[in-house]
Amino acid sequence: MNQIVLTGFMGAGKSTVGKILAEKLRLPLIDIDTEIQSEHQISITEIFANLGEPVFRTIEHQTLTSALLKDAVISTGGGIILSNDNRSILESADFVVYLKTSPNTFLARLKGDTTRPLIQEKSREEIISLFESRTKLYEGVAHLILETDELTPEEIANQIKQDFEIRKEQA
């Protein structure tokens, strides 16, 4: 399949890079959070507040499963790797890229963001702890780990495209 899945913590640039990469590869972009909001006509924040995180994670899993049946660039939510089932299906995906971003970078990007329910009312230390608890999970499903702090979204997309094309040639 022609499929690239972008994973990483909140603020890693998955949506931004996903748009650029999808254009470069002439593939559709499936942003998991956007798909969920569109299908359910409710924001992620409202799902968390009204239905709870377990319901959101079930919907997220269903959306990921559906997305992985298509040729596309797939941008995931930061917590997608928390589920054993999601990690299992990600391991069998075509090409999974972990956009690795340092706490200083993602904290700067997330400053003032009120759309992410898991960081509302959390201290800097709590957010970093959340990130650190997920790092090995991201790394465990990734075919490519890309350090992004010093790269522009365009450079990140170019690197992923290059690695993806090399991988396809070797397959």
Q: Is 43 annotated as a binding residue?
A: no
**Is 11 within any annotated ligand binding site?**
yes
Whether residue 109 is annotated as binding a ligand: the answer is no
Query: 112 a known binding residue?
Result: no
Question: Does 167 belong to an annotated binding site?
Answer: no
15 is in an annotated binding site: yes
User: Annotated binding residue at 77?
Assistant: no
> Binding site annotation covers 14?
yes
Question: Any long-range contacts for 43-48 (C-beta under 8 Å, 24+ apart)?
Answer: 43/115, 44/77, 44/115, 44/116, 44/117, 45/114, 45/115, 45/116, 45/117, 48/117, 48/118
Establish whether 140 is an annotated binding residue: no
Helix (H) or strand (E) holding 3: strand 3-7
Q: Is 122 annotated as a binding residue?
A: no
How far apart (Å, rounded) are the C-alpha atoms in residues 21 and 27?
A: 8
Confirm or deny that 168 is annotated as ligand binding. no
Cα(95)–Cα(5) distance, integer angstroms: 6
Complete DSSP assignment for 76-101: PPTTGGGSHHHHHHHHTSS-EEEEE-
Alpha helices in the chain (DSSP H): 14-25, 32-40, 44-51, 53-67, 84-91, 103-110, 124-141, 153-170
Binding-site positions for Mg(2+) read 15
Binding-site positions for substrate read 33, 57, 78, 134
Binding-site positions for ATP read 11-16, 116
Binding-site positions read 11-16, 33, 57, 78, 116, 134
